[in-house]
Amino acid sequence: MPRKKINITEKIETLSILDAKGVVDKKLEPSMSDQLLLDLYRAMVLGRRFDERLLALQRQGRIGTFPPIAGQEASQMGAVAALREDDWMVPAFRETAAEVWRGRSLESVILGNNGCAEAATIDPPGTTMPVSVPVGSQMLHAVGIGWAARYRKEDKVAMTFFGDGATSEGDFHEAMNFAAVFQAPVIFLCQNNHWAISIPRSKQTRSRTIAQKAVAYGMPGIQVDGNDILAVYSAATEAVERARAGRGPTLVECVTYRMQVHTTADDPRRYRSDEELEGWKAKDPIQRFETYLQRKKLLTKKKIAGIEEAVLAQIQAAVDNAEDLMKTMGDPLDMFDHAYAEMPASLAAQREELAAELAAAGKEGADG
Amino acid sequence: MPRKKINITEKIETLSILDAKGVVDKKLEPSMSDQLLLDLYRAMVLGRRFDERLLALQRQGRIGTFPPIAGQEASQMGAVAALREDDWMVPAFRETAAEVWRGRSLESVILGNNGCAEAATIDPPGTTMPVSVPVGSQMLHAVGIGWAARYRKEDKVAMTFFGDGATSEGDFHEAMNFAAVFQAPVIFLCQNNHWAISIPRSKQTRSRTIAQKAVAYGMPGIQVDGNDILAVYSAATEAVERARAGRGPTLVECVTYRMQVHTTADDPRRYRSDEELEGWKAKDPIQRFETYLQRKKLLTKKKIAGIEEAVLAQIQAAVDNAEDLMKTMGDPLDMFDHAYAEMPASLAAQREELAAELAAAGKEGADG
Amino acid sequence: MAKMTMAQALNLALQQELAQDDRVVLLGEDVGVDGGVFRVTDGLIDRFGEERVVDTPLAESGIAGMSIGMAVYGLRPVCEMQFSGFSYQAFHQIENHAARLRWRSQGRLSVPMVLRAPYGGGVRALEHHSESREAYYAHTPGLKMVIPSGPRNARALLVSAIRDPDPVIFFEAKAIYRAYREDVPEEEETLPIGQSRKIREGQDLTMVTYGAMVRPTLAAAEELSRKDGIEADVIDLLTVAPLDDSLFTASARQTGRVMVVHEAPRSFGPGAEIMARLVEKSFYYLEVPIARVTGYDVVTPLFSREQHYIPHADRVREAARQMLGEG
Amino acid sequence: MAKMTMAQALNLALQQELAQDDRVVLLGEDVGVDGGVFRVTDGLIDRFGEERVVDTPLAESGIAGMSIGMAVYGLRPVCEMQFSGFSYQAFHQIENHAARLRWRSQGRLSVPMVLRAPYGGGVRALEHHSESREAYYAHTPGLKMVIPSGPRNARALLVSAIRDPDPVIFFEAKAIYRAYREDVPEEEETLPIGQSRKIREGQDLTMVTYGAMVRPTLAAAEELSRKDGIEADVIDLLTVAPLDDSLFTASARQTGRVMVVHEAPRSFGPGAEIMARLVEKSFYYLEVPIARVTGYDVVTPLFSREQHYIPHADRVREAARQMLGEG
Ligand SMILES: Cc1ncc(C[n+]2csc(CCOP(=O)(O)OP(=O)(O)O)c2C)c(N)n1
Ligand SMILES: Cc1ncc(C[n+]2csc(CCOP(=O)(O)OP(=O)(O)O)c2C)c(N)n1
Ligand SMILES: [Mg+2]
Ligand SMILES: [Mg+2]
């Protein structure tokens, strides 16, 4: 009856399989088909190159502000690779590569980053939610989706993405708690990229890991090397299987790094050092995966060059296509669509107002 | 480099000193003066009897809805007893006994429960915040207060109270995280009374304890027998000392029971069993403390009777006084006061409107 | 037809919708075993089980956010905020997502959820339990803001709200949960969302109101008729937003005199928009300034003062008399 | 006097208040090391240290709630919501507590905090980064809602807001953070909160506006003067709530014609209250209906369409011409 230690049984582990040099831990190596490995490699390269192209477009003023993903390819791809197509993905805003894997077109990404609502209409992905800008707010949607799937007796799971910063939001807490209480089939996938704009992970929370936050909810949590796609894939697969089997949610913390600006409006030199960045470059997730695949004889220099070439061609085609598409777009009156299923009378009247203004301006323009 | 256990070093303990039969664990018995012990006993009895009287007043329609405290006297009194007078208390809404200990008058409580804003003007307590109704929202204020005290280099701490239900709110999470990140001198005092209206603790969160939620924030957490005032006092004192010494916040979970209705608008028979209640009656916090004090020869049957009598007289005097006070109160125009430091013109005009209405109605009444 | 209180009528609506559509799920704090703190969901968990009537942890953003996910998946969640004064904890979920997902997805996704919340004063409740802040939601594009005024229309509107393809904020006036009974048909009944209703005919002035204020407004109108020979046209909005201004602007063109009655604080309140529509659509017919009989721009007072805050029949009547030059 | 952008002028206000009052503390996401995403707090952490300029975790309710506690203790917290579209995460702290603690304690406590937030469109930003929803706060008793319209008044109003004994919601128009420069005196300058200002004289019509809309409104007024010989009286509200209706109702009595310009969605927006005040106080002088030139009742569009959403000078000018029968 005296002072006693409380035994917290939730297991919190850390997992790493493929190290920064590309050396694999054979005992832990997940079983993945050659095709899947190669597809993932290609997706990671596509993610990186597309990122670079978007940066260039932004610098040229051809798209608006956007959040690059460089450095986080393994976290994203390892995670979504564990999902079935009919599972749900509930992204934040920095999961471009994963969204593309799930079927979002590059054109849609370009348009979205250029302030065009039409982005949502190009190859709309079925079970991927749109990008969610308010940090942390999307996780609850995954809980509702997971709950609904179980209610429908469908064995789909929902995986939601968020950053280290997002773990500070009240909604993170409410989502984790609801998911655990309802044992909803949800995977909470944290990309701990060490920064929330200028706020380092150490100032975001005092807990040693993000994974241990699972303890607060009686939920399993695991920390993985987020630049190690094999570790991410293994942990995500385990979490997906747990959820699908009705054994509830899991928190997966992927320890990774944002190698680029927060968004193109950001200047990281204000808050972090070049050395830190250099240190992380040595842990590049694509590099080590490439080494691994070369050692497995799945990749050769030539094959790599072929993939690079194909990826760049795909991106170029998408950019051309998107820019063509944008030329045909731009009816301002469409802003009145989709506010409601049916347009209320008062809104229709406002639409008429703008239509009249545009007509008059057009006439003036034509006349003048 | 394989799968490794993460070592979560935050210590989570459970503490019990005085058992349900009044038997004390000598090794853990805190050093408290006889006077303090007797004062606390009296405060607990006052809390219980005042509660009973408020219930009677409510049933007679002499006050409005209110939240009884019965069963939680040890959690409340053990906690605030660890504070200095100039420390801050940031209550929720079920801490009447503790508020009274801190200087709130019984009259103020009666008026407050009768819908009179004037309650705040009767013996206003200096460093106790007003009751906060929105569940969980008050904890952040304690963090701000604690932060400000440290900023001012004053060694005051802030103790905030909340229930088991409140731990589900996003604000609980944000407050715990902010307090830990800023190492603010805050004591998070959870009265886990097993119910949030009709929702049992087990449906509120899946974690085994509430104390372990501290792990998510890198904060020490401790669970104590909340019906054991010695344990509560010991844990609270330790937490207060830690905070005062600049070593940051602590989460203290007091495991207790709400022996009464949630509020007088509630009917617990809809959601919990008589047996459960009976089981907890055997663990009554006042009963066991009384036994302890008797064994310590600080209390006798006669002394107890004297305290009961004095407490009842004090309550009766307060009820009479409050009812007198209420007769002199009730100028509807005072609702316009204290919206702003200075009344804006538009509000003054609205006040004039009501004044005219009241004057006309008075005249009509007088004429008619 | 059975005589029902508004609480019972709402219960009937939920019961029937739960029975006939398995997409309908209720969730919220204490809505299950306890049957809701106002007993609106009484008995539903017994009949439909924990799968359909879900007691949640105490977290409003959680409730609203989870409902959004459920709705996206194809369910028809009806969630409850225990009091509208605690819906602000969920405000970001409502504004950032419920109101926007149809637009954000350009029609691919929708959020057919209902967020029910008791609002308004008059039941001697604690702080934060008597507010009337429908304007917050009415000003948010993408939302519908519905406020019934009695048992029968509450039932019909709640059914319509549940079937509506868009998110509906559904405020229920605590003051009339059990204030009186009305005949409510057992068989299904709906009322179109987005349509106001004329509930009294008159030619001398127009009164525009909704929710709990309908009763005192009607009482004032009856007394004006009896004692002063003044006949008021009374419009019950039923839906606050999107606002149907057709009836009240037409009525104003007949009467030339308009008064708006609501419980919410006056400034930037719903009455302002009603006045704006009148100015835009009936300006040349207005003979005297439109009057606002409303709550004041102060924190809703505790219950010992609330009777002086909430508009009552006498206040409405006096304002009408003044408007007609008989004050 | 130095020529400053609004961002620089706000920075000056913060700098001087930090220097002269040790109760002033800044806090928010990225306000410290990064100097704020719009650089309004640039350099302040270097000068005043981490104790005075506090980078917080990413949690808006946390920031607002903590500020309330700091203010109760006697400090003067100036907290930042990174964008006003994320202030809803803190809405309950603002409504439930900041706005009420003075009243709840009957004057014993007060909450002298400022909540700064960039608002409005025009900077090609992402979703949720271009909203104009000041009406939510304007409708909340106990709050003050201030929106400056340029560098000099922004600086003076921010100083006044910091010194104000009540909570002030302070919206800063992103579109004019660095759009132009103005002379701003080095020495202290304040402007009274709760007072509107006439910024142009004219007798043909009255234009009421504030914030980022002041520039296009003035531009329209100048063009009307030049091209049409129409002279507009222009009122800049500066404080949206509590609303100072003295100038614009007086102006309306002179001109008989009024137009309101704001970026916020029209329905239940600030313009409605301005119209309501005009009806209440200047009704008999109005010659034509008051016109609203505003954002529409839709989700603020993404930036490829925002130029058609946000009122611009041409739209204001055309509305004025129509009002004067020259449309
Ligand atoms: C609720 C909310 N607050 C603030 C912002 C502004 N903001 C956008 S991203 C960001 C940092 C997010 O950090 P993290 O969650 O770690 O994700 P990361 O950007 O690193 O991917 C902030 C503060 C926002 N979008 N939403
Ligand atoms: C934000 C908010 N949501 C809902 C309520 C209604 N409500 C009042 S008390 C309560 C339960 C609180 O449970 P707990 O935190 O365990 O405290 P206890 O009542 O047991 O003392 C609820 C749901 C509220 N006051 N505030
Ligand atoms: Mg991050
Ligand atoms: Mg409880």
What ipTM, to 2 d.p.? 0.98
Under the banding of pLDDT at 50, 70 and 90, the label for residue B242 is very high
* Cα(B58)–Cα(D17) distance, integer angstroms: 51
pLDDT, tens digit (0-9, with 9 covering 90-100), for C245-281: 999 999 999 999 999 999 999 999 999 999 999 999 9
Indicate whether C18 and C118 sit together in one domain.
Answer: yes
Please report, for the domain that includes residue C246, its CATH number: 3.40.50.920
Task: Flag whether pLDDT at A171 surpasses 50.
Answer: yes
Which value, to the nearest 10 degrees, does the dihedral of the CA atoms of residues C50, C53, C54, C55 take? Answer: -100
Q: Which two tokens stand for residue C190?
A: 């709906």
Write out residues 92-151 of B within 8 Å (CB-CB) of D: 117-118, 120-121, 124, 129-130, 132, 134, 137-149, 151
Q: Calculate what percentage of chain A has a pLDDT beyond 70.
A: 98
Q: A263: distance to nearest CA of chain B, Å?
A: 25
pLDDT of A97-133, one tens digit each? 999 999 999 999 999 999 999 999 998 888 999 999 9
D190 within a domain of the structure (yes/no): no
Torsion of Cα atoms, A355 then A356 then A362 then A367, to 10°: 170
Using DSSP bridges, classify how beta strands B250-255 and B186-192 pair: parallel, antiparallel or unpaired: parallel
Is residue B362 pLDDT above 90, yes or no? Answer: no
Tell whether B361 is within 8 A of chain C (Cβ). yes
Ligand 4 midpoint to CA B195 (Å): 4
CATH number at C12 reads 3.40.50.970
Residue of A nearest to D38 (CA): A265
The three-point CA angle C192-C194-C196 to 5° equals 90
pLDDT digits (tens, 9 = 90+) for A294-319: 999 999 999 999 999 999 999 999 99
Whole-number CA gyration radius for chain B: 22
Distance between Cα B73 and ligand 4 center (Å)? 14
Pair (C126, C225) in one structural domain: no
Q: Is A172 in the pocket of ligand 1 (CB under 6 A)?
A: no
Query: Within an 8 Å CB–CB cutoff, is residue C285 touching chain D?
Result: no
In a domain, C191, yes or no: no
Give percent of chain A above pLDDT 90: 92
Residues D100 and D228 placed together within one structural domain of the fold: no
Average pLDDT for residues A127-144, to the nearest whole number?
A: 98
pLDDT per residue as tens digits for the range A204-220: 999 999 999 999 999 99
Q: Give yes or no for residue A368 having a pLDDT over 50.
A: no
Strand partners, D295: D265
Q: How far apart are the first and last CA of chain C?
A: 42
* Topology of domain B13-327, CATH: Rossmann fold (3.40.50)
Strand, helix or coil at A325? Answer: helix
Helix residue ranges, H only, chain A = 34-59, 73-80, 96-101, 106-112, 139-151, 170-182, 201-204, 229-244, 274-281, 285-295, 301-328, 345-367
**Residue C219 and residue C166 share a domain:** no
Do D164 and D279 sit in the same domain of this protein?
A: no
Within this chain, do residues D253 and D137 fall inside the same structural domain, yes or no? Answer: no
Is a pLDDT exceeding 80 seen at residue A7? no
**In chain A, where are the structural domains located?**
13-327, 333-367
Q: Do C89 and B336 touch (CB under 8 A)?
A: no
pLDDT band at D1 (very low <50, low <70, confident <90, very high): confident
Question: What pTM was computed for the model?
Answer: 0.98
D53 in a domain, yes or no?
A: yes
Among D161, D184, D207, the domain-final residue is D184
Instruction: Give the pairing of strands D168-173 and D114-119.
Output: parallel
> Distance (Å, rounded) from C-alpha B217 to C-alpha B184?
13
pLDDT at B338: 97
Ligand 3 center from residue C3 Cα (angstroms)? 58
Q: Which atom of ligand 2 is nearest to the CA of B258?
A: 20
Choose which residue among A131, A133, A168, A197 to substitute to test ligand 1 binding: the one with the highest number of ligand atoms within 8 A of its C-beta.
A197
* Of the partner residues A4, A174, A203, the one whose CB lies closest to the CB of residue B181: A203
A171: closest CA of chain C, how far (Å): 7
Q: Provide the residue range defining the domain that includes D292.
A: 197-323
Interface contact flag, C266 B347, Cβ < 8 Å: no
Identify whether residues D57 and D148 lie together within a single domain.
yes
Q: How many domains are there within chain D?
A: 2
**What dihedral angle (degrees, nearest 10) is formed by the CA atoms of D264, D268, D272, D274?**
-70
Q: What is the mean pLDDT of chain B?
A: 95
Pairs of CB atoms within 8 A across B/D: 135
Chains touching B by CB (3 or more pairs below 8 Å)? A, C, D
DSSP line for C70-118: HHHHT-EEEEE-SSGGGGGGGHHHIIIIITTHHHHTTTS-----EEEEE
Q: How far apart are CA A213 and CA A251, in angstroms?
A: 8
Least confident of B23-32, B327-336, D276-285: B327-336
Contact between A134 and D128 using a beta-carbon 8 Å cutoff? yes
Chosen domain end from C142, C160, C184:
C184
**Longest CA pairwise span in chain A (Å):** 92
Q: Is B262 a catalytic residue?
A: yes
Residue D69 to residue B144, Cβ atoms within 8 A? yes
What spacing in Å lies between the alpha carbon of B216 and ligand 4's midpoint?
21
d(CA A14, CA D167): 46
Closest-CA distance of chain B to residue D64, Å:
9
Same domain as D114, residue D8: yes
Residues of chain C with pLDDT under 70: 326-327
Residue range C60-93, pLDDT digits in tens = 999 999 999 999 999 999 999 999 999 999 999 9
- Percent above pLDDT 70 for chain C: 99
pLDDT at position A235 is 98
Closest Cα in chain D, distance from residue B34 (Å): 34
Query: Do D178 and D231 fall into the same domain?
Result: no
> Three-state DSSP class for B235?
helix
* Chain B residues within 8 A of A204 when measuring between CB atoms: 181
- Has residue C189 been placed in a domain? no
Say whether C103 and D299 touch across the interface (CB within 8 A): yes
Chains in touch with D (3+ beta-carbon pairs under 8 Å) read A, B, C
Average pLDDT (A137-159) is 98
- B147 conformational bin, left if phi > 0, alpha if psi -120 to 50, beta if neither: alpha
Residue A11: its chain B contacts at CB < 8 A?
A: 5
Whether a cis peptide bond, with omega within 30° of 0, leads into D242 is yes
Q: What average pLDDT does range D157-178 have in this prediction?
A: 98
User: What is the chain A residue with the closest CA to C51?
Assistant: A151
C97 tagged catalytic: no
At C3 the three-state DSSP class reads: strand
Binning pLDDT at 50, 70 and 90, where does residue B123 land? confident
Q: Which of C184, C212, C243 is the last residue of a domain?
A: C184
C283 and C205 inside one domain: yes
Q: Is residue D167 part of a domain?
A: yes
SS3 B263: coil
Q: Are residues D178 and D214 in the same domain?
A: no
Q: Give the active site residue among A84, A247, A271, A338.
A: A271
Tell me what pLDDT residue B366 has.
59
Q: Which of C92, C97, C128, C129 does the annotation list as catalytic?
A: C129
Q: What whole-number distance in Å separates Cα of residue D194 and Cα of residue D145? A: 9
Phi, psi at A160, each rounded to 5°: -115, 140
pLDDT of residue B368 exceeding 60, the answer is: no
Residues of chain D with pLDDT > 70, as a percent, come to: 99
Under 8 Å between Cβ of D197 and D247: yes
